[in-house]
Amino acid sequence: MARAQKVAYQCPSQPIQTRAFSRLSASSRRTALQPATPIRHCQNASSSFASHSQLRPFSETSRNAYKTVQEARSRQRSGPFSWKAAVLFVVTGAAMIVYFQEEKARLERKRIADETKGVGKPKVGGPFNLIDQDGKPFSSEDMKGKYALVYFGFTHCPDICPEELDKMAGMIDIVKKNTGNTLLPVFVTADPARDTPAVVKEYLKEFHPDFIGLTGSYDDIKRMCKVYRVYFSTPPEVKSGQDYLVDHSIYFYLMDPDGDFVEVYGRTHTAEEAAKIMTDHIKDWEKPINQGLLSEARTKAVIPEGDPHDPIVS
């Protein structure tokens, strides 16, 4: 019986060829020939394997193909969010923030420009007719086509006007550097009795060569100051040759190429701040801007000979 334990369990299709089988007794042979449970399991496993092989063949490619073990471990540690994705996320977010800030500022500038043209708002600016420092007629039509920066003062001003004109010259240079020849600086005297064209021309040479200096009769100056909402006052009963000061508003008025008022800048604005705002307005302008010199078709006038300080009004 001990030898009978050497019999190997095999599938029925494979005959049992063992010397120990021939030496068994008849009863032992019958027991050995009976199908055992492991044989049925073998048959079931073989048929199940065959059926599954026919229904769904195995894929030869792996789901996650990594070249090295270190690469697989690195992928497991980092997950789908890599450092490249983080950099892209930060850069995209920063770009969107900058874009929305610039768009918000642009809309605010547009709102300010549109509000000055609204119904029920006091209008700043309007038609005028004066003469420039060369004695040529100059009207509100000559300012159109460019942005214009208008300042009211007088040549005998001891301190405020020179400071503001120096600042205005700085604005001109910054805007000109950023946008080209798109800004026309205009100085309007509030003291026409003493500021003749020759006096204004000599005075503005000290500040910037692009300045246009305007003067005219007292009524013409008063009319322009009124349409620009500018306050000015001269002492009453001034004698000829007597020195005096003129009280006036201290503002810079920005006008667009259509001749409409845009914005005003006071003494609290630095040259850099005001130039930045003007540059943004100019870049927002959607129509063409004339970047050439003033029209040469304006009528030339000859300044009368004599003392350049002689008043042009009685």
Q: From the annotation, which residues make up the binding site for Cu cation? A: 157, 161, 248
Contact criterion met (CB below 8 Å) for 225 and 150 = no
C-alpha 34/C-alpha 28 separation (Å) is 10
Pairing of strands 183-189, 212-215: parallel
Residue whose C-alpha is closest to residue 265's, from 175, 103, 150, 169 = 150
DSSP per-residue codes, 245-276: --EE---EEEE-TTS-EEEEE-TTS-HHHHHH
Distance of CA 214 to the CA centre of its chain: 37
Q: Per the structure block, which two tokens stand in for 68?
A: 């090295």
C-alpha 45/C-alpha 39 separation (Å) is 10
Backbone torsion region of residue 256, taken as left when φ is above 0, otherwise alpha when ψ lies between -120 and 50, otherwise beta: beta
Contact criterion met (CB below 8 Å) for 142 and 295 = yes
> Residues comprising the binding site?
157, 161, 248
End-to-end CA distance of the chain: 152
Contact criterion met (CB below 8 Å) for 271 and 261 = no
